[in-house]
Amino acid sequence: MSGRVLRIRKGVYCALGLHPDVVRAVRVGGRVCCASAAAVHGLWRADDRLHVSVVPNAARLRGPDAPRAPLAPDADVELHWDARAGDRRLVDAPVEALRQVFRCLPFDDAFAVLESALRRGTITRPWVGAARLGRTRSEADLLTRADGIAESGTESLLKAGLVRRGVPFRQQVPVSGVGRVDFVVGDRLIVEVDSKTHHLDLSRDRRRDGDSSIAGFRTLRFMYGQVRFERDWVLRAIHAAYLRGDHR
C-alpha cells in the first residue's frame, strides 16, 4: 500500500477512501449487494453480514479481510449468485438493493430498510406501490403503511409488529413539556425505542420519562437489542398495557 493506493487482492487496486464494505466485497471477488449495498447508500443496516454478488461460475473467492486466504465456509458473508455481477460496478443501485433485501431478509427487516429509503428520499411512495414487494396479503397491507416518519430502523421494526397486533399508534408525536416521542398508543401511553446510536444519555431519558408522567402519560422504553432480538416480548408488553387500558 502506498500513500494513495490500496491493494485489495492480486491484480486489483483502489484509491483510498472507498467504503469498507466495497473493499471487502471486491476482495471476496464480487460487488456489494442486498443489505450491504443498502447500507453503503446510507439506508438502515438490517444485517451485519457482508452481502456480495458474484457470477455463477465464480472461483478463487477470498476472505473479505484476508486477500490471500480462501473464503471460509463460516465467514460472515452471504453470497448472491448473479450473472450481472460481472459488470464493472462496485455497488448495486439502491432500487436493486431494496428488491434483493425483500427476497433475502425477513420481511420486517426489509420493511425497515424500505422506510429508511423513504425517509431519505431514495425512493417514493409510488415506487413502493408499483414494486409488488409483498408476498402475502398481510405483507401487502403493511406496505401500504410504509412512510418516512420513523427515525430509525428499530422504530420501523416495532411499527410493523404494532400494525400486525392491531394496536393503534401515532409516530413522532410532540408532547407538551416532554418533546417529540417515538410512539403514542391511544391517548396516554408513550413507547420510546432506543436505537444503537441515540438515547445514550440515560439521565436525559429518565428525565423525559418523569416529565411524561407529570404530563399524564405512562412510558414504556425499550432498548435496541430488545426490539431487534426480543420483539415478541416487547410487543406482548405493549399489548398487555393496551389491554389494561393504560392508553386511555
What pLDDT score does 18 carry?
80
What pLDDT score does 200 carry?
58
Q: What mean pLDDT do residues 106-110 have?
A: 96
What pLDDT score does 1 carry?
45
Question: H helices within 41-136, ranges in order?
Answer: 94-104, 107-120, 125-131
Neighbour tally for 177: CB within 10 Å: 11
Long-range (24+ apart) CB contacts under 8 A made by 58-67 are: 58/29, 58/30, 58/85, 60/29, 61/28, 61/29, 61/30, 62/9, 62/27, 62/28, 62/29, 63/27, 63/28, 64/24, 64/25, 64/27, 64/28, 65/24, 65/27, 67/7, 67/8, 67/9, 67/10, 67/27
Q: Give the pLDDT band (50/70/90) at residue 197.
A: low
Q: What mean pLDDT do residues 7-27 have?
A: 78
Query: Is residue 109 within 8 Å of 160, Cβ to Cβ?
Result: no
Numbers of helices and strands, H then E, in the chain: 10, 11
Q: What mean pLDDT do residues 113-118 have?
A: 98
Q: Would you call 193 helix, strand, or coil by DSSP?
A: strand
What pLDDT score does 54 carry?
93
Pairing mode, strands 189-193 and 218-222: parallel
Query: Is residue 141 within 8 Å of 164, Cβ to Cβ?
Result: no
Q: Which CATH superfamily is domain 153-248 in?
A: VSR Endonuclease (3.40.960.10)
Q: What mean pLDDT do residues 64-84 have?
A: 87
Q: pLDDT (tens digit, 9 = 90+) per residue, 137-162? A: 999 999 999 999 999 999 999 999 99
Q: pLDDT (tens digit, 9 = 90+) per residue, 164-183? A: 999 999 999 999 888 899 99
What pLDDT score does 149 carry?
96
What pLDDT score does 199 carry?
52
Q: What mean pLDDT do residues 187-213 have?
A: 77
Domain range list for the chain: 5-101, 153-248
Q: Would you call 50 helix, strand, or coil by DSSP?
A: strand
Q: What is the DSSP string of 126-174?
A: HHHHHH---SSHHHHHHHTT--S--SSHHHHHHHHHHHHHT--EEEEEE
Tell whether the model's pLDDT for residue 14 goes beyond 80: no
Alpha-carbon gap, residue 61 to 138, rounded angstroms? 39
